[in-house]
Structure formats: C-alpha cells, structure tokens
C-alpha cells in the first residue's frame, strides 16, 4: 500500500473486482455458499487461462506469464 490519499494504490485489485462482479454476478446472487465457491473457482480459472486482456497484448495471464518466463530464460542476466 502506498501513502494515504494515493488513489492508485489498489487500482488493479479494484479493476479485477469490478469486472468479476459484472461478469459473474450480472446483478444476481448465488443460492448458497457451495454454489458460490464453485462458480468463483470456475471464473478465476477462466480469467487466468482463457480470458484475453488488452493490457497484456490480448493474451491470457497464463500465456503471458509463460511467454515472459521463456523470454527471461533466453536472456542472459
């Protein structure tokens, strides 16, 4: 966390939760805790493995991370 009054300290987390609520809940609610846990785990798996992100060059986070690790291993330190 950054100093008090800095509005950018948790912008990434706020963006994730905003999209999460808009895509997953769509104004509704879950019938129970078990259903909520199942849907949330499915959504996070989709978000990391399949959903393309404009900030990552329209790659999924998993693909971007794999490509980054491969590139960093090829470059000598």
pLDDT of residue 6: 64
What does the pLDDT look like over 14-72, one tens digit per residue?
A: 777 888 888 777 777 888 899 889 988 988 888 778 888 788 888 888 888 898 888 88
Residue 1 has pLDDT above 70, yes or no: no
pLDDT of residue 10: 74
Report helix angle 33-49 to 61-74, nearest 10: 40
Q: What angle do CA 63, 66, 72 make, to 5 degrees?
A: 140
**CB contact set of 58 (below 8 Å; sequence gap of 6+):** 52
Q: Confidence band (pLDDT; 50, 70, 90) for 77?
A: low
Tokens of residue 8, six digits: 């950018």
pTM of the model: 0.56
């Amino acid at each position: 966390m950054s100093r008090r009054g800095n509005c950018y300290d948790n912008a990434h987390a706020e963006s994730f939760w905003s999209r999460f609520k808009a895509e997953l809940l769509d104004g509704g609610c879950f019938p129970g805790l078990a259903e909520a846990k199942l849907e949330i785990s499915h959504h996070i798996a989709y978000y990391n493995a399949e959903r393309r992100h404009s900030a990552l060059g329209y790659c999924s986070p998993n693909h971007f991370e794999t490509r980054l690790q491969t590139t960093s291993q090829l470059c000598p330190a």
